[in-house]
């Protein structure tokens, strides 16, 4: 039986569950943090729901963004196959070394240009920093909290500028990104207040809902699309918590949380 294809869009984003997003912009199909396995145990983590759209429904993927590869809630087994079979993967330097071809690694504030599919030049993918845990968490030999994590900013002529946070818990980092890039149009924020009891005393490894709302305010984005708040047992806050936090911050008008697998169309 043939899997129905997810139709390409001119300028839109859909969340498939967990952190996984499909971003159609500039004639390109981009997948971020692909996770396509069925529900079940993945080492010390447990996946509670499969993706809203199967990997076979994506059709040709032009680019995969991997914020990090060491945690299965951001790159599971089928997600890894999706990345390996794409023509290009952009990630951090340490992750790229582990993944191998076709991955290229970008240190923060370095960019890579991708030829657009709509004939309008290039899409620029800029790597930006992320902190995968509390600011005072122990850092590894490479200076990372938990592990290397990379966020991304996508931009190009006539396109909205899109920030993809990756697994970041640091408002300080978001403030730094905002200073460098004051014209973010769309913020795709990993939230969910991911917690693992053995790490950092169980403190959040990603944005909790209040910090997601604070990040939206700092970025002054026109649109916020949340991800990474369901589908895994270690996410301690869900969509209702996000909606309440944005309501209490007076930012409800920014939040767009369409059902997984349905599109949110972007303003350019």
Extract the tokens encoding 121: 């030049």
Nearest to 191 by CA among 138, 148, 230, 140: 230
Specify the pTM. Answer: 0.96
The pairing of strands 103-105 and 111-115 is unpaired
Would the pLDDT of 3 be above 90?
A: no
**How far apart are alpha carbons 199 and 157 in whole angstroms?**
42
What percentage of the chain exceeds 70 in pLDDT?
99
Strand partners, 22: 14, 31
pLDDT at residue 141 is higher than 90? no
Give the contacts of 250 (CB within 8 A, at least 6 positions apart). Answer: none
What is the mean predicted confidence (pLDDT) over 115-122? Answer: 96
Q: Which of 71, 13, 20 is nearest to 231 (CA)?
A: 20
191 vs 254: CA distance, rounded Å: 15
pLDDT in tens, 248-268: 999 999 999 999 999 999 975
Interval 207-243: pLDDT, tens: 999 999 999 999 999 999 999 999 999 999 999 999 9
């Amino acid at each position: 039986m043939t899997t129905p294809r997810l139709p390409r869009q001119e300028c839109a984003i859909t969340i498939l569950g967990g952190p996984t997003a499909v971003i159609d912009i500039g004639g390109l199909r981009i997948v971020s943090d692909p996770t396509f396995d069925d529900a079940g145990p993945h080492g010390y983590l447990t996946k509670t729901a499969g993706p809203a759209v199967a990997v076979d429904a994506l059709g040709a993927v032009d680019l995969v963004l991997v914020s990090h590869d060491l945690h299965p809630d951001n790159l599971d087994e089928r997600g890894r196959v999706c990345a390996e079979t794409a023509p290009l993967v952009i990630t951090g330097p340490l992750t790229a070394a582990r993944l191998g071809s076709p991955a290229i690694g970008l240190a923060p504030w370095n960019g890579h240009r991708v030829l657009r599919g709509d004939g309008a030049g290039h899409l620029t993918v800029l790597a930006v920093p992320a902190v995968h845990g509390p600011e005072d968490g122990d850092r590894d030999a490479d200076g990372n909290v938990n592990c290397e994590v990379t966020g991304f900013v996508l931009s190009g002529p006539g396109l909205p500028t899109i920030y993809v946070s990756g697994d970041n818990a640091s408002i300080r980092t978001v403030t730094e990104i905002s200073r460098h890039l004051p014209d973010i149009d769309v913020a795709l924020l990993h939230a969910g207040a991911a917690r693992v009891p053995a790490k950092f005393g169980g403190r959040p490894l990603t944005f909790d809902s209040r910090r997601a709302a604070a990040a939206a305010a700092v970025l002054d984005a026109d649109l916020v699309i949340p991800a990474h708040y369901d589908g895994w047992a270690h996410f301690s806050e869900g969509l209702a918590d996000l909606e309440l936090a944005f309501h209490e911050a007076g930012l409800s008008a920014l939040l767009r949380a369409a059902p997984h697998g349905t599109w949110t169309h972007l303003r350019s």
